[in-house]
Structure 1
Amino acid sequence: MFRGIKRAEGHKMAVSGSANPQEHWSGRAAFILAAVGSAVGLGNLVRFPYVAGETGGGAFVLFYLVCILFIGLPVLCAELMIGRRGGGSAVAAIARLSKSEGKSGIWTIVGWLGMISTFLILTFYSVLAGWVLHFVLLSIGDLAGAIGENGLGAISSPAFEAMSKDDISSQLGELLTQPVRMIIMHGIFIIVTIAIVMRGIKGGIEVAAKVLMPIFFILLLALTVSSLINGDAGAGFAFLFQPDFEKFGAALSDGSILLDAIGQAFFSLSLGSAMMITYGLYLSREDQIPGAARAVAFADTSVALIAGLAIFPIVFAAGLNEAAGFSLLFNSLPLAFHQLPFGGIFAIAFFIMTLFAALTSSIALLEVTVAIADGDVDVDPAKRDRRRVQGAIVIGLIAFGIGVANALSQVSGVETFFNTWHPLDFIPLFEGLVLLDLIDQLTANILLPLGGFLTAIFAGWVVSGSAAREELNFNSERTFKIWRFLCRWVCPLFVGLVLVYAAIIAPMLG
């Protein structure tokens, strides 16, 4: 009985422990824009559409939507619930909830895993975003040069008109031979990220989301319409949405569907990384978590699908093969813009859109770690601003320093310590990987799945039913019971399978 009284008091403490009112999002729309911005990143634009087309088209998309519904949404609700009810950074929120439930403080490892993961991701994500910034400047410079030579009529010209196809497709390779430029682009991107995060939730992150995300959506829709008109719309739709059960069956039989669909559904929503726990901290009591989570999941999934229609019709119309990752972004697409009327305009718009997606994600990555400095309710409001500024600068500079090493690990044409160093070469999963690729593999295949697995366990088994029910406030008891069942059993099972496949089975299969 005594423990029950203490537990009830703990629940009351957790409920009252929300962030300072001045640190709340100004409204539901602001939260959704910021949350979608954190989730929509380079992966939505350059990986998901390709994986969908290569893994069964419409069959894969349908399976992916099922994964979003039964895995992504439940864990998204859980993370937002943990952040708001815990009233602190990922570590502080989980520590407070564990204490209120009479559980061991060992559960704070969930928060630490998320914070470490997001910090490590930031150290290489900002390098990749620096490459995007380089292509923004390259595209602007190309069009400006064409206008300078040929007048305003050059606006209707294709992108990179004065360059050969070989020169266009080798632009990324040329950048990789310029370590100083890579570091400068990386540094500019980190400085902008720090400047936004240090201004706080309303003055920085929310303002950035309200400005960047509407522009992002406008550019995405404009590029999609143009792609469907000027490109091979039929081939694009067929690649993405026509069911190919042979490809889907092959992915199902070798287990790669676990990474391709379940992993994408889980990590596309920034789950397992403590981002949504951190953003949940700033949700007010008036905001309904289930509705907000549905809006974020819908917007994120829509962006991934629409991005495919913005990209592949023009790629196919140009007679190019579909590709994944940065080969698509920096090789195939510049070649496609090279064959389009007004290609210079489209190239600038596309790379600016991609840069905005990267920036809103990097803001969330830095905020997760900075929140430990000022996000907790126990922080004196008078010290909050100073601690946030100090935290953003110090953590951002450390990320920049590690990012320099990551950038140098990608240098080609000249041998450096970092591009020949393979720190964990003795582990099959990391064999032959330089620093940037190693951190990418470590976070994607180990830390994020493990964090997601433990988050689902914590929300389903450690947080009491009464606390979760009160915080989530579903429309019916039946809906709550479904959520709890999914969080307790379905999500841990399938995320655990992703972890086992990525860390053990995939390296064995080669």
Structure 2
Amino acid sequence: MAVAGTGQSNENWSGRAAFILAAVGSAVGLGNLVRFPYVAGDSGGGAFIFVYLATILFIGVPVLIAEFMIGRRGGGSAIAAVSRLARTEGRTRAWVIFPILGILASFLIVSYYSVLAGWILHFIQVFAVDIGGRFVAEGPVALTAPAFEGQSDEEIGGILPKLLSQPGRMIVLHALFMAATVFILSRGVKSGIEAAANVMMPIFFVLLLGLTTFSLVTGEAMQALTFLFTPDFSQLTGSTLLRAVGQAFFSLSLGAAMMLTYGTYLSRETDIKSSSQIVATADTAVALIAGLALFPIVFASPVLSADVMGDNDPGLGLLFVTVPRAFHLMPFGSLFGLAFFVMALFAALTSAIALLETSVSWADGDYDVPPAQKARRRVIGAICLGGLAFLIGIGHALSQVPQTVAATFFNDWSPLDAIPLFQGMNFLDAIDALATTVLQPFVGMITALFAGWAISTSAAKEELRFDNDSTFALWQTLVRWVAPIAVGLVLLYGAIIVPLLD
């Protein structure tokens, strides 16, 4: 039997930099661009960020280290890695339930994430047509104009509702995005996932920094800085603290077998501890910088500012309704609006790749499968699993069609309505809540327990190579006690207490 931890014939990352880019890409998603900045500003600003950073340090990074460690030491897929480690350590095979549920969570998420990414494709086309048409008519001066010049605020705010009334178009865009995800995954780790991250992530960071500079120069920078970073410790209630824990946990893509799967492709030479710190730092930096790219242009309009501040959770409306309206009011709005949605597309695609890879990695077999057969299985697995996710996504797309436009089974179906957590939720919202409110926290909690208790101290020390015993003891304490308790409270609060109180 192969020895755990050698990572035999897995196709490994070509180097540490490639691994970090791919891992950052998997963590950085639409939540970093819109959800975190709003949650931070609305929940105490600098006070919330302080708690969030502490949570990243003492919960997020230790669990991230644990996922990478489990993946590399076990090898194969997420399921194979945990099964092998449980057997090697003389533990029950029942531990394998947590990677199975993690893969399920990722698969459910990508089935609707692709639909939302299709909306981004639509907005890219809308901005491209706007700027392209005026460039042909007016020349380079068109680049300096606001987005959608000549259209009313109501017309721009109606772009998304108009798309939602076109189910056929939503499904086509969903298919295009899923096809791109499947194509990249079918090419393997180095030629697919790694190559895509090496192209998209540098462009993403350039666009983010460019948009942030533009936003700070042309928008209400001071109001945005005040909203995001002025500490209000009166907002730090118990629920806010749990919100910070949950946000930190989900932002790093923990509890969904994504980082565990990426860990199976790690070489023995890669230092897991420092790599985890870099991934967490980059993910957090993107979330903070995204707020500076977004809110100065939103706060430049009193109307948009009032709309955002008056909404308890603007969510996707901030991305698909408020942002286009904001670029309508800004010089160079068409150009930077197009750049913003291209940036959002790259964030969505790198995350979708990681989400679907968890199940594709399982489908292509363990590391004892011959490379040629493994490659064939990967192609077939990517097509079949991507196709299944696409079919489920059709239901998500149809659930968003207003009933006044077309009555479908999915936009009149609340699949889990009997359970308080899911009452009144349509198909997409129910699957989202199941995956992110129930499965991810549960899987993350069990992952920490497995790393802290099921894997022997000697094996963990050998894999992680901490500088001294005291640092290792701190990590082990955090994954044995602090992380499971904190994440367990997030699960209890989000899945049980809040629904019952509502």
For normalisation by structure 1, the TM-score amounts to: 0.95
User: Are positions 1:159 and 2:147 aligned together?
Assistant: yes
Shift of 1:28: 0.7
Give deviations 1:158-202, integer Å, cap 9, x for gaps.
001121100001111111000000000100000000000000010
Shift of 1:398: 0.4
2:319 aligns with 329
1:483 aligns with 475
Contact map agreement 1:19 1:281 (CA 8 A) in 2: no
User: Are positions 1:205 and 2:188 aligned together?
Assistant: no
Matches within 5 A, 1:64-213: 64-213=52-201
1:291 aligns with 274
Contact map agreement 1:422 1:431 (CA 8 A) in 2: yes
Matches within 5 A, 1:24-63: 24-63=12-51
Shift of 1:267: 1.1
Contact map agreement 2:245 2:486 (CA 8 A) in 1: yes
Shift of 1:375: 5.3
Moved more, 324-333 or 114-123: 324-333
Give the SS at the match of 1:379. Answer: coil
Cα gap change, 1:40 to 1:19, in 2 (>3 Å): farther
Give deviations 1:384-403, integer Å, cap 9, x for gaps.
11010000000000000000
Letter in 2 for 1:396: G
Letter in 2 for 1:220: L
Give the SS at the match of 1:419. Answer: helix
Give the SS at the match of 2:412. Answer: coil
Quote the sequence identity (%): 58
User: Are positions 1:384 and 2:374 aligned together?
Assistant: yes
Matches within 5 A, 1:361-372: 361-372=351-362
Give deviations 1:70-89, integer Å, cap 9, x for gaps.
00000000000000000111
Matches within 5 A, 1:410-429: 410-412=400-402, 413-429=405-421
Shift of 1:19: 4.2
CA distance in 1, matches of 2:123, 2:18: 30
Letter in 2 for 1:460: G
Contact map agreement 2:51 2:241 (CA 8 A) in 1: no
Contact map agreement 1:231 1:317 (CA 8 A) in 2: yes
Contact map agreement 2:9 2:368 (CA 8 A) in 1: no
Aligned length: 493
Letter in 2 for 1:425: D
Contact map agreement 1:225 1:310 (CA 8 A) in 2: yes
Shift of 1:274: 0.5
1:466 aligns with 458
CA distance in 2, matches of 1:419, 1:476: 57
Give the SS at the match of 1:14. Answer: coil
CA distance in 2, matches of 1:38, 1:493: 25
Matches within 5 A, 1:302-341: 302-319=285-302, 320-321=304-305, 322=308, 324-341=314-331
Contact map agreement 2:143 2:334 (CA 8 A) in 1: yes
Alignment RMSD: 1.1
Moved more, 494-503 or 140-149: 140-149
Shift of 1:148: 2.7
Give the SS at the match of 2:368. Answer: coil
Shift of 1:256: 4.0
Contact map agreement 1:127 1:407 (CA 8 A) in 2: yes
User: Are positions 1:453 and 2:445 aligned together?
Assistant: yes
Give deviations 1:309-354, integer Å, cap 9, x for gaps.
0000110012222363211111111111001111000110000000
Structure 2 residue runs without a partner (length 5+): none
Contact map agreement 2:43 2:240 (CA 8 A) in 1: no
Give deviations 1:188-230, integer Å, cap 9, x for gaps.
0000000000000100000000000000000000000010000
Structure 1 residue runs without a partner (length 5+): 1-9
CA distance in 1, matches of 2:65, 2:76: 17
Shift of 1:149: 2.9
Contact map agreement 1:420 1:434 (CA 8 A) in 2: yes
1:224 aligns with 212
2:392 pairs with one of 387, 402, 405? 402
Give deviations 1:19-68, integer Å, cap 9, x for gaps.
426x1111111000000000000000010000000000000000000000
Letter in 1 for 2:406: V
Contact map agreement 2:44 2:233 (CA 8 A) in 1: yes
CA distance in 2, matches of 1:374, 1:352: 31
User: Are positions 1:257 and 2:237 aligned together?
Assistant: no
